[in-house]
């Protein structure tokens, strides 16, 4: 079955770095755009970044631009998020999600279970 499993979350000090991974299975990973989406504790959903199937097109939310880097390894069926210069406001559960398209309309499905990143001294 289609599955996404995130890892790499944890506690990090402000200004620190963390690398999240998302392992995909059950579908042809190299055919799909992928996104990272986060949710601060008790808050709503915030899209963070997406990467095209080949990795040639990347977008970021302004809140993470210049600090976060999305990447993928299609040979390993894996998506990554390198997070640098972390701030307290980056504390959240980070989800990876597959992007599906039909006639240019896109949606996120499925989502991984999420990995918690806590930025605190």
Partner 1 sequence: DIQMTQSPSSLSASVGDRVTITCRASQSISSYLNWYQQIPGKAPNLLIYAASSLQSGVPSRFSGSGSGTDFTLTISSLQPEDFATYYCQQSYSTPYTFGQGTKLEIK
| Residues forming the site for partner 1 (CB under 8 A) | 35, 44-47, 50, 59, 61-62, 95, 100, 102-103, 105-114
Nearest to 35 by CA among 65, 10, 72: 72
**Residue (61 or 71) nearer to partner 1, CB:** 61
Q: In the bound complex, what is the minimum distance in angstroms from residue 26's beta carbon to partner 1?
A: 15
If the CB atoms of residues 75 and 105 are measured against partner 1, the closer one turns out to be 105
The CA–CA distances, whole Å, from 20 to 17, 60, 75, 94, 104 equal 10, 16, 17, 9, 28
Residue 115, exposed/middle/buried by CB under 10 A (0-12, 13-18, 19+)?
buried
Q: Which is nearer to partner 1, 74 or 99 (CB)?
A: 99
Taking the complex as a whole, the smallest distance from the CB of residue 68 to partner 1 amounts, in Å, to 13
CB of 98 to partner 1, least distance (A): 10
Q: Which of residues 15 and 106 has its CB atom nearest to partner 1 in the complex?
A: 106
- Look at the block and give the residue holding tokens 């499993």: 5
């Amino acid at each position: 079955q289609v599955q996404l499993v995130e890892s790499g979350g944890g506690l990090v000090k402000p200004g620190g770095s963390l690398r999240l991974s998302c392992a995909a299975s059950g579908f042809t990973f190299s055919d799909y755009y992928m996104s990272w989406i986060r949710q601060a504790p008790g808050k709503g959903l915030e899209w963070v970044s997406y990467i095209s199937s080949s990795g040639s097109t990347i977008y970021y939310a302004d809140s993470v631009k210049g600090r976060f880097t999305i990447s993928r390894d299609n040979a390993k069926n894996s998506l990554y998020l390198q997070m640098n210069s972390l701030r307290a406001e980056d504390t959240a559960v980070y989800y990876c999600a597959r992007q599906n398209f039909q006639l240019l309309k896109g949606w996120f499905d499925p989502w991984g279970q999420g990995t918690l990143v806590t930025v605190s001294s």
